[in-house]
Structure formats: structure tokens, C-alpha cells
Amino acid sequence: MANVKECRTVVIAMDCSEYAQKAFDWYWGNIRRESDKLILVHVPEFHTVVQSPMEIADFTSLTNLYAEEEQMTKDFIEKLTTLLKDKHTNGKVSARYGRPGEVIVKVVEDEDADLIVTGSRGMGTIRRTILGSVSDYIIHHSPVPVIVCKH
């Protein structure tokens, strides 16, 4: 009989999408254990700054866009912290900058995690090939099992 670890460390990749929330909800409703330690990982991507038109690329406008993105990130981290408190669960929020897939795998290694749960946006083959997929990266580079919740 396999030796089951008393306390699992579970990393859940969280962005502001409905897919991440559904992945969290799936974890909570299906495989959660009372003794689990949750680590909600958020990797801000600063879409507004990167996707802003070149004509507004002056320093002041970019600084303002960056400040807005930073505030949205702080608000989202606060929301995740509240989620953990409301669920009365052992865990923490980890917000780090970088490429999402790489950061999530690094958190798993740093925290000696046992499992990753992530959502999937369901991109088509061409879009996934061009843009890359965070869940594909995690699946191929994770040292632990990965559950990809597809909705």
C-alpha cells in the first residue's frame, strides 16, 4: 500500500480569469483535504502596458498605465488572500514576476509542493503554438503531477 503524505502542498495557478477560479472551485469541491497547504500563485502580466498603442508610448502615459496595472495586481492579491481566509484554510498567496509557466514551476520547487492545479483557456492549436500555453509549459516542466481543469 502506498504511503500517503499527511499534509500535501498544493499550488494553484491563479490569474484574473474565470478559468482559474473554476480550477480553484474544482480543487475545492473534488480533491481538497483538510490538511492541505494551499499556495495560490499569481503572475502579473501587465497586459495594458504591453498592448498600449505606440502613439501613447510617452513616459507619463506608460507610467500611469503601469501604476493602474500594479493597483489591479494588489487588488487581486488581496482578493486571493480573502479567499483563503474565507475558506479557513492553511495557505498563502505568492505573487512573482516573470513568465507564468516558469514562475509556477519554480514555486513548486521552492515550496516542495506535491501537486499543481491550473485552468486551461482552451486556445486553439494555432494560437497555442504562436503564443504558447501556460498549462502546456507546466505539464512539460513540472516535477510533480499536474491537474489541468478544462471547462
pTM for this model (two decimals):
0.82
Q: Nearest to residue 97, comparing CAs of 38, 20, 42? A: 42
68 domain residue, yes or no? yes
Q: How many domains does the chain have?
A: 1
CATH of the domain at 144: 3.40.50.620
Query: What type of residue is 133?
Result: S
Predicted local confidence at residue 131, as pLDDT: 45
SS3 of 91, please?
Answer: strand
- Residue 57 covered by a domain: yes
Question: Residues 84-110: pLDDT tens digits?
Answer: 999 999 999 999 999 999 999 999 999
**pLDDT by residue (tens digit) across 9-38?**
999 999 988 999 999 999 999 999 999 999
Confidence class for position 128, pLDDT limits 50, 70, 90: very low
Q: Residues 11-33, buried b or exposed e (16+ Cβ, 10 A)?
A: bbbbbeeebbeebbebbbeeebe
The pLDDT, as a whole number, for residue 64 is: 79
User: Torsion-angle region of residue 112: left (phi > 0), alpha (psi -120 to 50) or beta?
Assistant: left
> What per-residue confidence (pLDDT) applies to 57?
60
| Residue 4 belongs to some domain of the structure | no
Work out the percent of the chain whose per-residue pLDDT is above 90: 58
